[in-house]
Amino acid sequence: MNPYVITDQHLSDYAQHLRTNERSAGTVENYLRYTRRFVRWLNGRPVTQEGTAAWKKQLAEGRYAPVTVNAMLAAVNSLLRFLGWEECRVKFLRVQRRVFREPGRELTQAEYRRLLDAARSRGQERLALLMEAICATGIRVSEVKYLTVEAVRRGRAEVALKGKIRTILLPGKLCRKLLQYAKKKKIVSGEIFLTANGTGISRRQIWGEMKRLCRHAGVEPSKVFPHNLRHLFATVFYRACRDIVRLADVLGHSSLETTRIYLLTSGTEHSRQLDRLGLVS
């Protein structure tokens, strides 16, 4: 009899394992969502390698993009490794490396400016400043909590994530704006971006506020999410310095392959580059 039945206790222990290993809040949220989806699909059946492969096949034949399928498989494989059920894991889908980003996902500087203008015109000062802070430094949305009054006064934030500590330099103009905002909101220490209740603003709240801003800014919702501001920072930074190793350090990447993904050009720009080759008479 196969004993591999995933229980609520297994999922609870796995969640604690992810947090203990300092996975980001976003990663924990995604991994738990995907593993619960897998458990619902099992519907009480024990886990087998054939079953996991069947789930993979169903995902691949459904409405999910290959990268999304692989993200789901990464979560389930991680759970199975944690449980010691290695033989039930499956391989990822093979995805050819892209050389450009889809136009529907590419946030331009002009669109970024429109988002800022729309937020300010609607009196959303916190949202406008938050977007500027992410885009001007390249921090992850989960790292916004490190933008404290103390860090801004020093001109640098010490970010601790995934067992690593890195220093993020804050532009002088941004520091002045953040300190002015903190003074206006009577925030004398600690996190600058707070909710009305005085707690740190969540990833979900930031995402929701940005999405609701799209219509007023005239920007496609598919382009507007916090992580795309980090992508825009990476693109502009690299154009200025042409140093991918330095950019990887700034972004906190362990692998240059991860950084390379951030530097994909848009499909439109890629087409222009092909036209400039002059190989068609």
pLDDT (tens digit, 9 = 90+) per residue, 84-119? 999 999 999 987 666 556 667 789 999 999 999 999
Predicted local confidence at residue 255, as pLDDT: 80
What pTM was estimated for this model as a whole? 0.67
270 is known as an active-site residue: no
Q: Is 222 exposed, middle or buried (0-12, 13-18, 19+ CB in 10 A)?
A: middle
Active-site residue (options: 23, 126, 140, 231): 140
Q: Does residue 40 carry a catalytic annotation?
A: no
pLDDT, average across residues 196-201 = 92
30-74 residue pLDDT tens: 999 999 999 999 999 999 999 999 999 999 998 888 889 999 999
Pair 178, 222: CB distance under 8 Å: no
The active-site residue out of 164, 204, 215, 272 is 164
pLDDT by residue (tens digit) across 170-194?
999 999 999 999 999 999 999 999 9
Q: Is 23 a catalytic residue?
A: no
pLDDT of residue 98: 63
Point out the catalytic residue in the list 56, 101, 126, 253.
253
| pLDDT for the residue 233 | 94
84 three-state secondary structure: coil
β pairing state of 164-169 and 156-161: antiparallel
Q: Pick the more confident residue, 162 or 167.
A: 167
Candidate list 126, 177, 223, 230, residue with the active-site label: 230
* Helical axes 49-61 vs 66-83, angle rounded to 10°: 160
Q: Under DSSP, is residue 189 helix (H, G, I), strand (E, B) or coil?
A: coil
183 is catalytic: no
What is the average per-residue pLDDT within 241-249? 88
Catalytic residue flag (residue 140):
yes
The reply to whether 230 belongs to the active site is yes
pLDDT-above-90 percentage for the chain: 68
The C-alpha atoms of residue 268 and residue 281 are separated, in whole angstroms, by 21
Q: Which two tokens stand for residue 236?
A: 């502009």
